[in-house]
Amino acid sequence: MARESSKNPVLILLDMERRSREHAAGLPQQIEVKALWSGIGFRIGELRLLAPLAEVTEILTLPAMSRVPGTKAWVLGIANVRGNLLPIMDLNGYLQGRRTDVGKRSRVLVVNHQGVFAGLLVDEVMGLRHIEQENRTTQLPEIDRALAPYLDNGFRVDDDTWVVFSMRKLAESPLFMQVAM
């Protein structure tokens, strides 16, 4: 009988199939892909915020700049960044009236929204954050009222809430556009 099966091609193929199935590895697990929200984590004072990734064009170290006379104190100056004039604003100075102490972690978040091209000085950039959409929350911690017009919602991460600061809302704000004394 063994001789017959070794000559019959159908039986040979059936035997090969049986042995292949016995030694085959299982299919990979299907993992549910969850929707992610992406943003830039940053800090002004002790407050940790998130800016939607699509609303931040670039992150810079504080460039050399020239002071612009006749502007409010939170307008730090204007810088030449690769041939483009970039007004630099102190975000904490604008929102809370407290100047940012420039340190080695200070950064400038560049916003370019509907003709508003500006750099916002922050105390620190804490990196790119990818957060599951299901962690979105509308219950925000108590925050200075000056920030309220620019907040969208927040995300629960571990036992902490990160509040989303809308650069788009800031750029559309008439108050932000009034830089002259």
For 32, phi then psi, to 5°, come to -70, 125
**What distances in angstroms separate CA 155 from CA 12, 36, 63, 86, 89, one per listed residue?**
60, 11, 32, 31, 27
Give yes or no for a contact between 162 and 41, defined as CB atoms under 8 angstroms apart: yes
pLDDT surpasses 60 at 25? yes
Res 177 pLDDT > 80:
yes
165 and 151 Cβ atoms separated by less than 8 Å? yes
- The more confidently predicted of residues 158 and 42 is 42
* pLDDT > 70? residue 4: no
Q: pLDDT, tens digit, for every residue of 86-119?
A: 999 999 999 999 999 999 999 999 999 999 999 9
Average model confidence (pLDDT) for the chain?
92
Question: Residue 37 pLDDT > 90, yes or no?
Answer: yes
- Which range of 16-20, 31-35, 166-170 scores highest in mean pLDDT? It is 166-170
Residue 1 is predicted with a pLDDT of 47
- Note the pLDDT of residue 3: 56
Return the ∠ at Cα 87 (arms to 53 and 118), rounded to 5°.
20
What pLDDT, in 10s, does the model give residues 55-75?
Answer: 999 999 999 999 999 999 999
Residue 10, pLDDT score: 86
Amino acid in the structure at residue 151: L
What residue ranges define each of the domains in the chain, with the CATH number in brackets? Answer: 36-177 (2.40.50.180)
Q: Stretch 135-143: mean pLDDT, rounded?
A: 90
Q: Is pLDDT of 6 > 70? A: no
Using the predicted structure, report yes or no on whether residue 80 has a pLDDT greater than 80.
Answer: yes
CA R_g for the chain: 28
